[in-house]
Structure 1
Amino acid sequence: MARIAYILLSHKDPDGIIAQAERLTQAGDYIAIHYDARSKREDFDRIRETLKDNPSVVFPARRVKCGWGEWSLVEATLLAVRAAVEAFPRATHFYMLSGDCMPIKTAEFAHAFLDRDEVDYIESFDFFASDWIKTGIKEERLIYRHWFNERGRKWLFYQSIEWQNRLGLARKVPADLRIMIGSQWWCLRRRTIEAVLEFCDRRPDVMRFFRTTWIPDETFFQTIVRHLVPEAEIRTRTLTFLMFTDYGMPVTFYNDHYELLLSQDFLFARKISVDAKELKARLGALYVATGVDFRISGEGQRLFRFLVERGRIGRRFAPRFWERESSIGRERTLMIVTCKKWHVAKRLADRVRAVTGMPAVDYLFNEASTPLPDLGGIQSTLEKRTRHRRALVRMLCDYWQTDKLLFCIDPANIDLMQDFFSDKAQVRLLEIECSFSDDYLIGHARRVGLASEQTPPETMARLLPTIRYDVTFESDRIRDAGFENHYRMKQSASVEENTGPLAEFLGIGAEQAREIAATHYLFVD
């Protein structure tokens, strides 16, 4: 059975470190603790004194003063790893942690997970070919030597790069290494760790190279493991759940994230707020529990992006200016049906075709599978349809030899609506307002990938108000746009109340409009 030696790098919260060590070792695992030499000596002495009688805890022979982005973080890791390898001969895996990490699965689950496959878990993407680095310097991390910390001595950091560039002091990457990059939170098998340590002992040239690279904790282990271990035995992922904001800052978890964290396909999470006492207590008790059944839904990243974007779309940034194509034509009339429940809009379009004979197209710019005639390839993809939307509409009118065309569009596509309303053609908009039950919104969240069948009810309960508001917000944006010829049908209205707006929208008589509005299955979910 797997036995884990945790490699814990920490610099604060001595009480939390003590609790973490006691919790992890209580389940039969081990821990090697490196406490930053920059931190208070009395805090380290308290940690060591409290844990001195625990045989499953070890400390490196010396402490290193650590700095973000510096070699010191790798040096501290290697010191802790060497101490763990020597002290815990029964350890089968070595797992990197920080003081902000907490388990989100039981030890029982973690051991079974690691026993399942004979592999290492470490992110390792090609340094030069991947887009893992989003901002800041890239190649300069490697080809120049870095003696100054960018955070504390910014001018010297960038000036030294400039000096080396001017003097032609760029260096080469070790010829036999393919530099890789990834998260520093890895889990490696014992034989891999032993191979890495042996490599460090026999390759001083590689050690010298990484000592002066920038942010080596994202490249050192990632490169060496990929150099030593067959690709088939590496899973390019971390087992620690972490998310970052658009500004590169880690997302912090609080007390109300418990169910969300447990449903993610990871063993630990980072980073847990120091103030989240209840969350830490619950996760701490979880690790030593047995017989717990986890429902893995793994929607954390998607949920975060969705919730963040709610404050951005149409608010933080101005709407996109779509390219302008030639006019659809003054003599033509476009009728746009918008409805969040696509099946309702499709049924209406189908009834319009049947009752009036008017050409009506389903979600032209939202569904690639929408049936369309062959128009020379312009209709082949959603990207082409959107890019050449006016030309597409003209060609559809020409194909059906009509001056009237109805098509459906999602309420979120207000930029497309604005573009069509700016055309010389006569444009009308019919907004169908539907009722949304919790069950329907849950199904919607699953259909668009925000949730799954395994998403905990507690997570769904917190997500539902945001989804419901999102639907309301889209309707408000349409109203605020002030479109002319904007008509509304409502699920809550009677057939007679819906007949008038529908007749004006379609430009047909009341009798035909009433026949369409009276469709008994129109609003059935």
Structure 2
Amino acid sequence: MARIAYILLCHKDPQGIIAQAQRMTASGDFMAIHFDARSPKAAYAQLVEALGDNPSVTFAKRRVKCGWGEWSLVDATLQALKAAEQAFPQATHFYMLSGDCMPVKSAAYARAFLDRDDVDYIESFDFFKSDWIKTGIKEERLIYRHWFNERTQKWRFYKSFEWQKRLGWTRDVPAGLAVQIGSQWWCLRRRTVEAVLDFVATRADVMRFFRTTWIPDETFFQTLVRHLVPDRDIRSRTLTFLMFTDYGMPVTFYNDHYDLLLSQNYLFARKISAEARELKAGLGDLYTSGRMDFPISDEGRNLFRFLTGRGRQGRRFAPRAWEAGASLGRERELLIVTCKKWHVAKRLIDRVGQVAGMKGLHYLFDEEATELPDLGGIEATLAKRGRHRRAVMRMLFEALDTDRLVICVDPSNLALIRDFHHDRAKVRLLEIECDFTDDYLTGHARRVGLAGAETPDAVIARLLPTLRSDMAFESEQIADAAFAGMEKLRQGASLAENTLALAAFLDIPADQAQEIAETHYLFTD
């Protein structure tokens, strides 16, 4: 059975660290602590006094003054790793943690998870080919030498960087190494740790190289493990759940994230807020609970992107340059049906074709799989269709040999609706107003990845009001745009009201409009 030695890097909150160490070791695991040498001596003395008699806790023999982006973080990790490897011969796995990490599964679950596959868990992607680095310098991290910290010695960092570039003073990666990059939060098997420590002791050239790379904690272990261990024995992922904002800052978790964290396919999470006492207490109790039933939905990142993206959707102030002189044609009519329930709008368009003989297209600007005629490749992707929207519509009018065309557009795509309404063609809009039951919204959340089949009901219940509000907001935006000649088809309206709206929108006789409005399955979910 797996027994875990936790490698804990920390620099503050000695009481929290003591509680974390006692909790982990009470379940039969181990902990090696490196406490930043920049931190107060009194805080470190407090740790030693409280945990020094615990046989399952050890301390790094040498404390390092740590700085973000520096070799010191790797050095501190190696100090704790060496201490753990020597002190705990029973340990089968070594798991890297920080003081901001907390378990999101029980110890029993974590051991069973690690026993399932005999592999190492460490993110390791090709440094040069992957897009892991989103901003800032990339290959310059490696080919130049970095003696100074960019955050605390900015002038020296960039001045030495500039002089090396001017002099062409670059260097090569040590022979035989393919540099990898990934998260520093890993879990390695004992034999892998022993191989890494042996490598460190014998390859002085590699150690010299990494000592002057920038942010080596994202490359050092990732590169060495991939160099020493067969690919089949590596899972290129972290077992610690973490997310980053659009600004590259780690997302912090609070008391109301308990259910979300438990449903993710990870063993730990960071960063847990120091103020989230209720969350910390709950996760601490969870670790020693022996619980094994954890429904995994893994929707955390999709949910975060959805919630943070609300309100950030920018608007264009004017048509793009390539669109400025474009028009669908004065003689043409574009009829836009907008509805959040795509199946309702698709059924309506199909019925319009059957009853009134008008040609229609489904969500061509929202759904990649919408069936379209060959337009020479411009229709191939959603990105191309959206970028060249007027050109696409002109070509569709010609390809379908018609001057009247009905299309579906999602209500969130207000910029596209507004853009078409500014065209010289005759453009009319029909909004279909539907009822949204809790069951429908739950299904919608699962379809778009905001929830999974195993997401707890309590999590979904908290999400539903947000989804309902989001859909109401989109409808309000359309109403505020005050498009001329806009009509509404309502699920709860009378047959007469919906017939009138369809007749006006489609400009067809009332009997045809009524036949369409009478479609019994139109609003069925």
For normalisation by structure 1, the TM-score amounts to 0.96
Match of 2:178 in 1: 178
Select between 105-114 and 474-483 the one with higher mean Cα deviation.
474-483
Q: Deviations over 1:380-429 (max 9, x none)?
A: 54444444443443344344443211111111222221222222111100
> 2:488 is aligned with what amino acid?
R
Give unpaired runs (5+ residues) of structure 2.
Answer: none
Match of 1:515 in 2: 515
- Cα shift at 1:373: 4.2
Q: Secondary structure at the match of 2:175?
A: coil
Match of 1:477 in 2: 477
Is residue 2:38 matched to residue 1:38?
A: yes
Q: Secondary structure at the match of 2:362?
A: strand
Q: Deviations over 1:430-454 (max 9, x none)?
A: 0011111111111111111111111
Match of 1:147 in 2: 147
Match of 1:169 in 2: 169
Partners of 1:4 and 1:93 within 8 A in 2: yes
Task: Give the paired residue count.
Answer: 524
Q: How does 1:252-263 map to 2 (within 5 A)?
A: 252-263=252-263
> 1:241 is aligned with what amino acid?
F
- Cα shift at 1:320: 7.8
Q: How does 1:420-459 map to 2 (within 5 A)?
A: 420-459=420-459
Q: Deviations over 1:339-392 (max 9, x none)?
A: 011111112112212221122222232334434445555545444444444344
Distance 2:318 2:240 in 1: 36
Distance 1:337 1:230 in 2: 55
Match of 1:217 in 2: 217
Match of 1:524 in 2: 524
Q: Secondary structure at the match of 1:363?
A: coil
Distance 1:461 1:318 in 2: 37
> 2:172 is aligned with what amino acid?
K
Distance 2:467 2:111 in 1: 37
Match of 1:127 in 2: 127
Distance 2:356 2:237 in 1: 56
Distance 1:245 1:379 in 2: 33
Q: Secondary structure at the match of 1:188?
A: strand
Distance 2:326 2:522 in 1: 36
Distance 2:330 2:188 in 1: 68
Distance 1:382 1:454 in 2: 31
Select between 499-508 and 255-264 the one with higher mean Cα deviation.
499-508
Partners of 1:322 and 1:419 within 8 A in 2: no
Q: Deviations over 1:440-478 (max 9, x none)?
A: 111111111111111112221222122112211221222
Match of 1:493 in 2: 493
Select between 420-429 and 390-399 the one with higher mean Cα deviation.
390-399
- Cα shift at 1:283: 0.3
- Cα shift at 1:177: 1.1
Distance 1:36 1:71 in 2: 14
- Cα shift at 1:172: 1.9
Distance 2:108 2:422 in 1: 62
Judging changes above 3 Å, is the alpha-carbon distance between structure 1 residues 229 and 379 closer, same or farther for their aligned structure 2 residues? same
Select between 189-198 and 164-173 the one with higher mean Cα deviation.
164-173
Distance 2:348 2:138 in 1: 54
| Aligned residues: CA RMSD | 1.8
Q: Deviations over 1:472-521 (max 9, x none)?
A: 12212222223222111111211112222211111112222222222222
Distance 2:123 2:58 in 1: 27
Select between 249-258 and 399-408 the one with higher mean Cα deviation.
399-408
Judging changes above 3 Å, is the alpha-carbon distance between structure 1 residues 340 and 219 closer, same or farther for their aligned structure 2 residues? same
Distance 1:238 1:505 in 2: 54
Match of 2:286 in 1: 286
Distance 1:211 1:372 in 2: 56
Judging changes above 3 Å, is the alpha-carbon distance between structure 1 residues 145 and 372 closer, same or farther for their aligned structure 2 residues? closer
Match of 1:355 in 2: 355
Q: Deviations over 1:304-349 (max 9, x none)?
A: 111111020137x868848417322211111111101111111211
Give unpaired runs (5+ residues) of structure 1.
Answer: none
Partners of 1:320 and 1:415 within 8 A in 2: no
Distance 1:319 1:81 in 2: 58
Match of 2:275 in 1: 275
Q: Secondary structure at the match of 2:326?
A: coil
Judging changes above 3 Å, is the alpha-carbon distance between structure 1 residues 323 and 417 closer, same or farther for their aligned structure 2 residues? farther
Partners of 1:141 and 1:214 within 8 A in 2: yes
Partners of 2:95 and 2:186 within 8 A in 1: yes
Q: Secondary structure at the match of 2:148?
A: coil
Partners of 1:143 and 1:171 within 8 A in 2: yes
Q: Secondary structure at the match of 1:289?
A: coil
Q: How does 1:379-458 map to 2 (within 5 A)?
A: 379-458=379-458
Distance 1:320 1:133 in 2: 33
- Cα shift at 1:38: 0.8
Q: Deviations over 1:238-286 (max 9, x none)?
A: 0000001111111000000000000000000000000000000000010
Judging changes above 3 Å, is the alpha-carbon distance between structure 1 residues 55 and 452 closer, same or farther for their aligned structure 2 residues? same
Partners of 2:33 and 2:59 within 8 A in 1: yes
Match of 1:11 in 2: 11
Judging changes above 3 Å, is the alpha-carbon distance between structure 1 residues 319 and 82 closer, same or farther for their aligned structure 2 residues? farther
Match of 2:57 in 1: 57
Distance 2:419 2:471 in 1: 21
Judging changes above 3 Å, is the alpha-carbon distance between structure 1 residues 322 and 383 closer, same or farther for their aligned structure 2 residues? farther
> 2:417 is aligned with what amino acid?
M
Match of 2:464 in 1: 464
Judging changes above 3 Å, is the alpha-carbon distance between structure 1 residues 377 and 130 closer, same or farther for their aligned structure 2 residues? closer
Q: Secondary structure at the match of 1:86?
A: helix
Partners of 2:363 and 2:409 within 8 A in 1: yes
Partners of 2:319 and 2:419 within 8 A in 1: no
> 1:471 is aligned with what amino acid?
M
> 1:58 is aligned with what amino acid?
T
Distance 2:168 2:20 in 1: 49
Q: Deviations over 1:24-61 (max 9, x none)?
A: 01111000001111111111111111112211000111
Judging changes above 3 Å, is the alpha-carbon distance between structure 1 residues 153 and 384 closer, same or farther for their aligned structure 2 residues? closer
Is residue 2:15 matched to residue 1:22?
A: no
Paired-residue identity, %: 68
